[in-house]
């Protein structure tokens, strides 16, 4: 087992050195294989014997890389990698994701690049890995996103131009024309274009792809600033809905404290021990989405702040009670902040 671990480190380092364009320092090499600097030095010396290892001196620091491309034996995907990609593509297809066609195309290209004898050798192992592995697809909307819509938006992003489309918002009598600067795509059970009206001092907002029609790339240039961070934008809210952020404070009881320590409520959360329980803090919008998530904790999470979240939770509880205490009645249109 120890020999296998050493071989795995060596091959991992060879792959990393061949994929790096700027090269890796010894410290970066050690981090890549999860070992100390001395181990990285020994593996570097071993790689130097068998590969053309290029040394780059930058700011008195040495960086190393393997120029050119490696032999196919080093770059060929293994059975587990192909099975993981194929399983992910199948999951995205079942979920109706806009990325499903791209992943399926990638699976086909990867398999087409394998030699016939390699395919035959992999087949007995690949079949059970694909047949007996699944990603869980939770309950959610069943939406078909047109591949051409995704391709058009991706093309506009690469070309640095705006996107034009007719958009029918929920509850609207008809679609309205829009031209936005594409700030990103968020994929999931519903795919959203994050767009910003050009020449307006407004924040980017999400547009559902399934509500778009007549999508086309605009002749007007438009691209986000270089320092635009899609992850930071997403981190301002609990889900996709945009609203003013709040300082969220949640107290988790002793029975679920350990679960909470291993739970990601929000990318920028802090979790601190408080007696036998824990306190979770983060700054976020999306109060309705937070409240609905707390249903899954079976009463083990108590809202301590803000008051606005308490009010939203009481409203969600009142509506949830209708599922067991009252016959179905027509409802008035919910206010905009209560729709996703």
In terms of Cα–Cα distance, which of 247, 242, 256, 167 is closest to 211? Answer: 167
In the chain, % helix, strand, coil (3-state, to 5) comes to 45, 20, 35
Strand 270-274 and strand 277-284: the pairing is antiparallel
Looking at residue 260, what is its pLDDT?
93
Give the pLDDT band (50/70/90) at residue 155: very high
Mean per-residue pLDDT, 241-261: 91
Residue-wise pLDDT for 272-327, tens only, equals 998 889 999 999 989 999 999 999 998 899 999 999 999 999 999 999 888 887 66
Give the pLDDT band (50/70/90) at residue 93: confident
Region of poorest pLDDT, from 48-62, 174-188, 214-228 = 48-62
Query: Which domain covers residue 117, as residue numbers?
Result: 76-131
Q: pLDDT at residue 335 above 60?
A: no
Residue-wise pLDDT for 3-57, tens only, equals 667 778 888 888 888 888 888 999 999 999 888 899 989 888 888 887 878 888 8
* High-pLDDT (> 70) share of the chain, %: 92
Mean per-residue pLDDT, 60-68: 84
157 in the same domain as 224: yes
Cβ partners under 8 Å of residue 241, min gap 6: 285, 286, 288, 289, 337, 340
Q: How big is the chain, counted in residues?
A: 340
As beta bridge partners, residue 207 has 193
Mean pLDDT of the chain: 86
Looking at residue 334, what is its pLDDT?
46
Looking at residue 16, what is its pLDDT?
87
Q: φ, ψ for residue 152 (rounded to 5)?
A: -65, -45
Looking at residue 339, what is its pLDDT?
43
Domain boundary among 171, 202, 234: 234
- In the block, residue with structure tokens 């490696």: 70
Looking at residue 312, what is its pLDDT?
94
Whichever domain contains 189, its CATH number is 2.30.30
298 in the same domain as 252: yes
* Residue 18 lies inside a defined structural domain of this protein: yes
Mean per-residue pLDDT, 170-195: 90
Looking at residue 328, what is its pLDDT?
62
Peptide bond preceding 306 in cis form (omega within 30 of 0):
yes
99 in the same domain as 80: yes
Cβ partners under 8 Å of residue 90, min gap 6: 134
Looking at residue 71, what is its pLDDT?
62
Whichever domain contains 40, its CATH number is 1.10.10.10
CB 83 within 8 A of CB 133: yes
* Residue 340 lies inside a defined structural domain of this protein: no
Give the three-state DSSP class for 208: strand
Q: In this structure, what token pair is assigned to residue 31?
A: 């981090």
CB 192 within 8 A of CB 184: no
């Amino acid at each position: 087992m120890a020999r296998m671990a050493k071989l795995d480190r060596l091959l991992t380092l060879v792959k990393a050195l061949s994929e790096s364009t700027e090269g890796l320092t010894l410290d970066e090499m050690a981090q890549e294989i999860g070992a100390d600097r001395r181990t990285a030095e020994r593996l570097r010396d071993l790689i130097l014997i068998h590969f053309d290892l290029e040394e780059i001196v930058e700011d008195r620091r040495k960086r190393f890389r393997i120029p050119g491309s490696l032999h196919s034996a080093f770059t060929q995907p293994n059975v587990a990698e192909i099975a993981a990609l194929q399983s992910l593509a199948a999951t995205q297809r079942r979920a109706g994701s806009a990325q499903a066609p791209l992943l399926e195309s990638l699976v086909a290209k990867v398999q087409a690049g394998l030699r016939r004898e390699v395919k035959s050798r992999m087949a007995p192992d690949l079949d059970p890995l694909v047949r007996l592995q699944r990603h869980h697809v939770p309950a959610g909307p069943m939406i078909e996103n047109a591949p051409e819509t995704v391709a058009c938006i991706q093309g506009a992003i690469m070309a640095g131009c705006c996107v034009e489309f007719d958009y029918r918002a929920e509850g609207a009598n008809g679609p309205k024309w829009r031209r936005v600067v594409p700030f990103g795509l968020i994929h999931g059970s519903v795919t959203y274009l994050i767009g910003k009206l050009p020449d307006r001092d407004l924040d980017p907002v999400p547009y559902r792809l399934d509500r778009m029609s007549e999508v086309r790339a605009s002749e007007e240039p438009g691209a986000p600033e270089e320092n635009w961070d899609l992850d930071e934008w997403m981190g301002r809210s609990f889900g996709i809905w945009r609203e003013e952020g709040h300082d969220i404070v949640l107290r988790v009881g002793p029975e679920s404290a350990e679960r909470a320590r291993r739970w990601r409520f929000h990318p920028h959360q802090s979790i601190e021990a408080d007696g036998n329980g824990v306190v979770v803090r983060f700054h976020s919008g999306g109060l309705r989405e937070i409240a609905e998530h707390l249903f899954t904790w079976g009463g083990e999470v108590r809202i301590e702040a803000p008051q606005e979240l308490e009010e939203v939770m009481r409203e969600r509880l009142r509506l949830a009670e209708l599922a067991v205490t009252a016959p179905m009645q027509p409802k008035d249109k919910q206010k905009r902040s209560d729709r996703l």
